[in-house]
Structure 1
Amino acid sequence: MTLAADRVTRTAGGRLILDGVSLGPEPGGVTGLLGPNGSGKSTLLRLLAGVLAPASGVVTLDGLPLPALRRRDVARRVAVVEQQSDTLVELTVADVVRLGRIPHRRAWTPPVPADEEAVRTALERTGLTDRAHQSWHTLSGGERQRVQIARALAQEPRELLLDEPTNHLDIQHQLDLLDLVAALPVTSVVALHDLNLAAMYCDRVAVLAHGRVVAAGTPAEVLTEALVADVYGVRAEITVPADGDRPHVRVLGTLTRGR
């Protein structure tokens, strides 16, 4: 395992947010974090990134606790895409993407050709080359999300953490983005609300409820009608193709509503 959480706990305002959660994403795979709002998905991602520290338990990178590593070394390895990003500074799209190169440069040193090549590649992969000189503030929410993905790619990480990256995106761009993430030669952990997107793109999923992992495994193993009812409070019909690989979830209604 490259990046892993071992029995981590986190509290906020006297409330238990995560309660003994363990997660070991498979190297090179896509792990989905599922669960209703408030289940602890975003907090777990921030612990994995080293932005927050667990009250107990440990997050490790290549077997070493994150606090034992230099922050710059972690930043070179682990890229994070948050749900919302903003800036008061007038920046172009290319300027924002260049921020991904900061962990690879010493302070006050100008970019080198490798930095600009990484930025160009990231813009191309996210379909933003023609927006490079456009102001960040003129972009839609979905376009800003794509820029943040490009910034993370410019960082050239080995681990990529994404918190609801498909928010604000139309269906085509949701699929394009997750196609891109799934094709990357990195270890990805992505928080998602859409169970069908998780089933389509994730190699493994972990379902959180009330700060605990209640199920983990392949989408076919985890996404059952009973689990969807217990965790989300809705009735669902789940069909599995002949190969038994990628289930499809059809929500029928809440448990309190008749058919």
Structure 2
Amino acid sequence: MTGTPPLTDDGTGLRADRVSRTAGGALVLDGVTLAPRPGTLTGLLGPNGSGKSTLLRLLAGVLAPDTGVVTLDGDPLGSVPRRTLARRLAVVEQHADTQVDLTVADAVRLGRIPHHRAWSPATAADEEAVRSALARTDLADRAHRTWRTLSGGERQRVQIARALAQEPRELLLDEPTNHLDIQHQLDLMTLISGLRLTCVMALHDLNLAAMHCDHLVVLCEGRVVTAGPVRDVLTEQLVAEVYGVHTAITHPAPDGRPHIRFLGAAPRER
């Protein structure tokens, strides 16, 4: 297995350098470095409690690291103006709710807030961004539905649409497929992998990660176990050691992407 990859030299984009974070006296992240390549999809893998969501919150600027630094184009995230950060970076959380029963279209319009001053009317560009986001997430026919009438999967797609309407360069997603049926999981992953944005996504489904991610970072107990191209990272030994599961991994696709068949529990060696 490989260790944490070094940061690239150009300093551009969103990066975490040796970040650590404690919560309730417990070390949640321990010296994690993440340098996603521009325009690629990086998958964050690891068991529950491995630190994936905390790392995403550090990258989003919602939390500050206890040690280490998160930077955007070389500048510490805390020094980046909030409006600049909101225009550059969009976040899709695992769960979303609202006390106001917005329509789908109005919820997606929230993604346009960073692009104009408060109380200023929507522009033609705003409305086009909203229409495009609704269409790309298969929500155009639900634009006038209200939030409380939506299923969990539909609400998740509204979150994705709101993020797309924001027109970010970096997109952070925390388990975005959790509430989706199989068809919409595949549609969503195909959409995200084709965006050509710098995407970092926490995932539990190893086969979805294998099919769609460009690079993987595997966390366990707050540390990076391995990171690199999908084929190099997803091995039978890795899955056994990190997840405690025996697998048979083959590479049937023409591009060599792995397919994982789960065989049963295995004792963890870590």
Q: Scaled by the length of structure 1, what TM-score is found?
A: 0.97
Distance across 1 between alignment mates of 2:143 and 2:116: 21
The equivalences for 1:197-212 within 5 A come to 197-212=208-223
**Residues 237, 251 of structure 1: 8 Å contact kept:** yes
User: 2:94 corresponds to which residue?
Assistant: 83
The equivalences for 1:184-199 within 5 A come to 184-199=195-210
Distance across 2 between alignment mates of 1:72 and 1:51: 14
The runs of 5 or more residues in structure 2 that have no matched partner are 1-11
Aligned residue pairs: how many? Answer: 256
User: 2:61 corresponds to which residue?
Assistant: 50
Compute the displacement of 1:105 (Å).
Answer: 1.4
User: 1:236 corresponds to which residue?
Assistant: 247
Compute the displacement of 1:244 (Å).
Answer: 6.1
RMSD between aligned residues: 1.0
The equivalences for 1:14-29 within 5 A come to 14-29=25-40
User: 2:175 corresponds to which residue?
Assistant: 164
Compute the displacement of 1:66 (Å).
Answer: 0.6
Of the candidates 112, 116, 126, which is equivalent to residue 105 of structure 1? Answer: 116
Of the candidates 132, 137, 140, which is equivalent to residue 129 of structure 1? Answer: 140
Corresponding residue SS for 2:58: helix
Q: Which runs of 4+ in 1 moved over 4 A?
A: none
C-alpha deviations, 1:115-139, integer Å up to 9, x for none?
1111111001111111000001100
**Residues 220, 244 of structure 1: 8 Å contact kept:** no
Correspondence 1:115 to 2:126:
yes
Corresponding residue SS for 1:43: helix
Distance across 2 between alignment mates of 1:164 and 1:148: 12
Distance across 2 between alignment mates of 1:185 and 1:253: 36
Corresponding residue SS for 2:17: strand
What is the letter of the counterpart of residue 31 of structure 2? G
Of the candidates 5, 24, 46, which is equivalent to residue 13 of structure 1? Answer: 24
Distance across 1 between alignment mates of 2:165 and 2:177: 19
**Residues 82, 162 of structure 1: 8 Å contact kept:** yes
Compute the displacement of 1:112 (Å).
Answer: 1.3
Distance across 2 between alignment mates of 1:4 and 1:81: 18
Corresponding residue SS for 2:187: helix
Distance across 1 between alignment mates of 2:132 and 2:261: 38
Compute the displacement of 1:219 (Å).
Answer: 1.1
Compute the displacement of 1:241 (Å).
Answer: 3.0
Corresponding residue SS for 1:37: coil
Compute the displacement of 1:242 (Å).
Answer: 6.9
